[in-house]
């Protein structure tokens, strides 16, 4: 009986995961994305058919509100076995697809991306203050295997960029996103993020949106982020949460810190005889003209694009972007072992959940986010820790002058 229950549970998990992935794709509609993958329609239809089949099979078997006469299910055993087998197959297919995707991505970025350092920190004492129900729920949830809601990590990568101008060799970019500041988390948590970012000695700090949960938090998050320091400045774009809650106030507050808003704008930073051309977009939530104004990349320039939504990389890659930094997905917020995240608000689904995604010469990095995001409603980050990321640019090959030396 226990074996049967395990098999049924696995089949239900398979169908649930398929339905969740379909809903994940459909969620992009609510984010007003420009296109919807046909896969979502197929998966959603399959999930609906499975529900209809189950409802038909169980019709008439119920005794009372929840009771089921199990022995009567024998009459429909072939159909039940087929349904269970389909669920097991979907689990296998999703797990195999995840493994193939991971291997392909690693192969695609091999030689271009090198992990330099990873440190994980326990921050439970910083974001669950006081004696409240929220604190209790977070502390209980944090002991669950794989739940990293009380963990934050610092990651450093070395990126080999073909054609990178020599003056930009060693340029350090710190990427922060998805703070989701709200007053149930202590300011000390966010101050630690700022301290950690500064300790990475950034030349540029890039922030890709979702600074707060409500507009009342703007003064607090702006005051905390004022401590950020970078040799060539701090740049940002707004995310969907910011745009929904008085973005003009956020932009004004961050401008007072000396930060540069890149929503639909292009800024060039001269470094020696080279330059970093920075561009930002806040599509699909706020229209901008970046797509039409972003011309050919200037000679001797490195083009860095900031966007909250990773799907914008699908057109930024066609505009000579060398590196695209994005957030929004939180890595899926919760991921299952072998299968990966259930819900990723992107038309590319699992492909845009987190990490490096190569698009030819363009490299996209999607961060897990800088805070426990959404912990207020759901104190779980299964296999998806918050992070601060530092990317150091290096030349793909020494120049002819360097070879002669």
Helices 2-30 and 77-109, axial angle in degrees (round to 10):
60
Q: Which of 69, 85, 103 is the last residue of a domain?
A: 103
Distance, CA of 141 to CA of 401 (rounded, Å): 57
Q: What is the pLDDT of residues 369-390, one digit of tens each?
A: 998 755 555 678 889 999 999 9
Q: What is the pLDDT of residues 86-136, one digit of tens each?
A: 777 877 777 887 888 888 888 999 889 999 999 998 887 776 555 456 666
Write down how long the chain is.
405
Q: Are residues 250 and 316 in the same domain?
A: yes
Q: Are residues 138 and 212 in the same domain?
A: yes
Whichever domain contains 148, its CATH number is 3.60.21.10
Distance, CA of 60 to CA of 69 (rounded, Å): 10
Q: Are residues 120 and 30 in the same domain?
A: no
Instruction: Return the closest-CA partner of residue 381 out of 391, 372, 390, 389.
Output: 372
Q: Are residues 67 and 125 in the same domain?
A: no
Q: Which long-range contacts (CB under 8 A, 24 or more apart) does 85-88 make?
A: 85/11, 86/11, 86/14, 86/15, 86/50, 87/10, 87/11, 87/12, 87/13, 87/14, 87/15, 88/7, 88/10, 88/11, 88/14
Instruction: Return the closest-CA partner of residue 250 out of 239, 328, 110, 388.
Output: 239
For residue 232, the SS3 value is coil
Structure tokens at 136: 């209790």
Q: Are residues 88 and 196 in the same domain?
A: no
pLDDT confidence of residue 63 = 45
Q: Which of 53, 82, 103 is the last residue of a domain?
A: 103
| Share above pLDDT 90 across residues of the chain, in percent, rounded to a whole number | 49
Q: Are residues 156 and 195 in the same domain?
A: yes
Strands 172-176 and 386-395: antiparallel
**139 torsion bin: left (phi>0), alpha (psi -120 to 50), beta (else):** alpha
Instruction: Return the closest-CA partner of residue 196 out of 238, 224, 161.
Output: 224
What does residue 72 show for φ and ψ, rounded to 5 degrees? -70, -20
Q: Which of 56, 82, 103 is the last residue of a domain?
A: 103
pLDDT confidence of residue 399 = 45
Helices 247-256 and 218-225, axial angle in degrees (round to 10):
30
Q: Are residues 119 and 55 in the same domain?
A: no
pLDDT confidence of residue 123 = 82
Strand partners, 390: 156, 174
Helix or strand run (H / E) with residue 280: strand 274-281
Write down the pTM of the prediction: 0.81
Strand partners, 153: 120, 387
What is the domain range of residue 302?
A: 112-401
Q: What is the DSSP letter of 263?
A: B
Give average pLDDT by consecutive 10-residue segment, the chain, 405 residues: 69 71 57 42 60 60 48 61 77 81 89 93 70 65 82 95 94 96 82 96 97 92 97 97 94 97 96 96 93 91 97 95 96 86 83 94 96 64 93 74 39
pLDDT confidence of residue 142 = 77
Q: What is the pLDDT of residues 325-356, one digit of tens each?
A: 999 999 988 888 888 887 788 888 888 999 99
Q: Are residues 7 and 147 in the same domain?
A: no
pLDDT confidence of residue 28 = 53
pLDDT confidence of residue 36 = 38
Q: Are residues 370 and 279 in the same domain?
A: yes
- Report yes or no: 188 and 220 within 8 Å, Cβ to Cβ: no
The tally of domains found in the chain comes to: 2
CA dihedral (179, 185, 190, 196) positive or negative:
negative
- Report yes or no: 286 and 263 within 8 Å, Cβ to Cβ: yes
Q: Are residues 339 and 233 in the same domain?
A: yes
Q: Are residues 338 and 268 in the same domain?
A: yes
Q: Are residues 164 and 99 in the same domain?
A: no
């Amino acid at each position: 009986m226990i074996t049967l229950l395990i098999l049924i549970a696995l089949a239900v998990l398979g169908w649930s995961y398929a339905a969740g992935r379909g809903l994940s794709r459909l969620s992009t509609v609510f984010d007003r994305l420009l296109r919807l993958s046909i896969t979502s329609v197929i998966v959603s239809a399959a999930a609906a058919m499975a529900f209809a089949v189950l409802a038909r099979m169980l019709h008439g078997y119920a005794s009372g509100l929840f009771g089921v006469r199990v022995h009567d299910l024998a009459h429909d055993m072939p159909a039940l076995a087929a349904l269970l087998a389909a669920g097991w197959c979907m689990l296998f297919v999703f797990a195999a697809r995840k493994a193939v995707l991971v291997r392909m991505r690693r192969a695609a970025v091999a030689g271009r991306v090198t992990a330099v350092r990873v440190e994980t920190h326990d921050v439970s004492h910083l974001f669950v203050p006081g004696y409240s129900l929220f604190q209790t729920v977070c502390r209980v949830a944090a002991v669950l295997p794989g739940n990293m809601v009380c963990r934050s990590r610092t990651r450093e990568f070395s990126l080999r960029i073909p054609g990178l101008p020599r003056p930009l060799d060693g340029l350090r970019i710190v990427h922060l996103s998805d703070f989701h500041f709200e007053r149930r988390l202590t300011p000390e948590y966010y101050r630690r993020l700022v301290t950690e970012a500064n300790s990475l000695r950034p030349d540029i700090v890039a922030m890709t949106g979702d600074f707060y949960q409500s507009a009342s938090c703007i003064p607090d998050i702006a005051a905390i982020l004022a401590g950020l320091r970078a040799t060539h400045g701090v740049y940002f774009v707004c995310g969907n949460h910011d745009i929904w809650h008085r973005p003009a106030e956020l932009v004004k507050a961050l401008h007072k810190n000396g930060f540069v808003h890149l929503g639909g704008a292009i800024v060039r930073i001269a470094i020696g005889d080279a330059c970093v051309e920075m561009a930002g977009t806040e599509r699909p939530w706020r229209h901008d003209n970046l797509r039409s104004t972003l011309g050919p990349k200037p000679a001797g320039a490195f083009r860095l694009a900031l966007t909250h939504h990773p799907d914008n990389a699908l057109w930024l890659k066609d505009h000579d972007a060398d590196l695209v930094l994005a957030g929004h997905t939180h890595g899926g917020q919760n991921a299952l072992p072998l299968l990966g995240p259930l819900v990723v608000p992107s038309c590319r689904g699992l492909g845009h959940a987190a990490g490096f995604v190569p698009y030819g010469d363009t490299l996209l990095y999607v961060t897990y986010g800088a805070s426990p995001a959404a912990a207020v409603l759901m104190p779980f980050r299964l296999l998806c820790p918050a992070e601060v990321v530092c990317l150091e640019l290096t030349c793909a090959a020494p120049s002819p002058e360097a070879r002669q030396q």
